[in-house]
């Protein structure tokens, strides 16, 4: 399934594999002025040509190398669009076979294996005909994660960094301390709207980002306090966040509340 919604000059394409009439774990890519920000999962490759009919894609930026963000790079590249990403993402996008072989079952089912594409490292800026996007390295969700800021319009494209104000779950390979540092870094800039790869678009965005950071800081303080009192990570999760939900089950624990607590306490022995 691919559906389009327009937010002024910015078009959002929600992409997700449909199984028995249900869309599994969709994500969003964004198009503005010829620039495509992420290309979506390979599992919707058969629908991309129709969804982008009449929409010129002159350049692609991948916010990070994850399989749901790079899966259709090759489709657009074969039509002449160059692909760019953070320098740490470049080898992973150009040669995905070493890491895609380690993808978990849910990732292969929902997003499928992305084909290799030819990617070049980003500079400090990305230009389209009418806009200029500042490239900001925002690691945490992954080491190679970037955000794009269009300052004159107040648009901030945050890939998988933001998601919402009160995020209680984390992938096993994420670093919440790095994510908090990245949120702090973004707060040095001015912006009005966050375009998130979850498919949510947030206005009053800077305040929401402050709220997110404050909520995680408070949670971290509470988790660290409980750890000092001798609680283990699972007990801290139960006390602060409650039991795991269906996502932890579906992903066999790869995305869970426990991972968030463990990442908070990474530098402590718990
Ligand atoms: Fe991701």
pLDDT at 108: 94
Q: Give the integer Cα–Cα distance in Å for 57 and 1.
A: 20
DSSP string, 17-61: EEETTEEEEEEEEEEETTEEE----GGGHHHHHHHTTT----EEE
- Please tell me the distance between residue 154's alpha carbon and the centre of ligand 1 in angstroms: 23
- Please tell me the distance between residue 124's alpha carbon and the centre of ligand 1 in angstroms: 21
pLDDT tens column, 163-204: 999 999 999 999 999 999 999 999 999 999 999 999 999 999
pLDDT tens column, 139-152: 999 999 999 999 99
pLDDT tens column, 16-68: 998 888 888 899 999 999 999 999 999 999 999 999 999 999 999 999 999 99
Q: pTM here? A: 0.97
Query: 233-240 vs 257-264: helix axis angle to the nearest 10?
Result: 120
- Please tell me the distance between residue 64's alpha carbon and the centre of ligand 1 in angstroms: 7
- Please tell me the distance between residue 151's alpha carbon and the centre of ligand 1 in angstroms: 24
Q: Which of 90, 260, 67, 234 has its CA nearest to residue 175? A: 260
Q: Tell me how far apart the terminal alpha carbons of the chain are, to the nearest angstrom.
A: 43
Backbone angles phi, psi at 213, to 5 degrees: -65, -45
Asked if residue 269 has pLDDT above 60, the reply is: no
Asked if residue 253 has pLDDT above 70, the reply is: yes
- Please tell me the distance between residue 224's alpha carbon and the centre of ligand 1 in angstroms: 27
- Please tell me the distance between residue 108's alpha carbon and the centre of ligand 1 in angstroms: 14
Backbone angles phi, psi at 237, to 5 degrees: -55, -50
pLDDT at 20: 83
Asked if residue 270 has pLDDT above 60, the reply is: no
CA 136 → CA 17, 120, 183, 192, distances in Å? 30, 16, 11, 16
Residue-averaged pLDDT of the chain? 96
Overall CATH class of domain 2-214: alpha beta
Backbone angles phi, psi at 92, to 5 degrees: -75, -30
**Are 99 and 92 contacting, i.e. CB atoms less than 8 angstroms apart?**
yes
pLDDT at 21: 85
């Amino acid at each position: 399934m691919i559906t389009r919604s327009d937010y002024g000059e910015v078009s959002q394409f929600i992409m997700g594999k449909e199984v028995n009439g249900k869309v599994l774990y969709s994500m969003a890519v964004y198009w503005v002025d010829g620039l495509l920000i992420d290309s979506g999962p390979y599992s919707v490759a058969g629908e991309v040509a129709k969804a982008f009919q009449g929409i010129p894609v002159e350049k692609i930026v991948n916010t990070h190398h994850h399989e749901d963000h790079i899966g259709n790079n090759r489709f657009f590249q074969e039509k002449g669009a160059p692909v760019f990403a953070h320098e740490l993402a470049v080898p992973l996008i150009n040669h995905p076979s070493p890491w895609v072989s380690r993808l978990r079952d849910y990732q292969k089912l929902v997003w499928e294996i992305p084909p290799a594409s030819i990617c070049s490292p980003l500079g400090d800026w990305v230009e389209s005909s009418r806009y200029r996007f500042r490239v900001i390295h925002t690691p945490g969700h992954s080491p190679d994660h970037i955000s794009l800021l269009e300052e004159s319009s107040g648009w901030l494209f945050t890939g998988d960094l933001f998601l919402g104000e009160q995020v209680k779950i984390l992938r096993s390979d994420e670093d919440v301390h790095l994510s908090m540092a990245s949120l702090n870094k973004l707060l040095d800039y001015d912006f009005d709207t966050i375009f998130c790869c979850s498919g949510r678009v947030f206005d009053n965005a800077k305040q929401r980002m402050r709220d997110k950071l404050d909520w995680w800081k408070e949670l971290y303080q509470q988790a660290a306090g409980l750890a000092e009192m001798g609680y283990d990570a699972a007990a801290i999760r139960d006390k602060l966040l409650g039991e795991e939900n269906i996502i932890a089950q579906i992903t066999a624990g790869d995305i869970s509340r426990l991972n968030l607590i463990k990442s908070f306490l990474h530098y402590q022995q718990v």
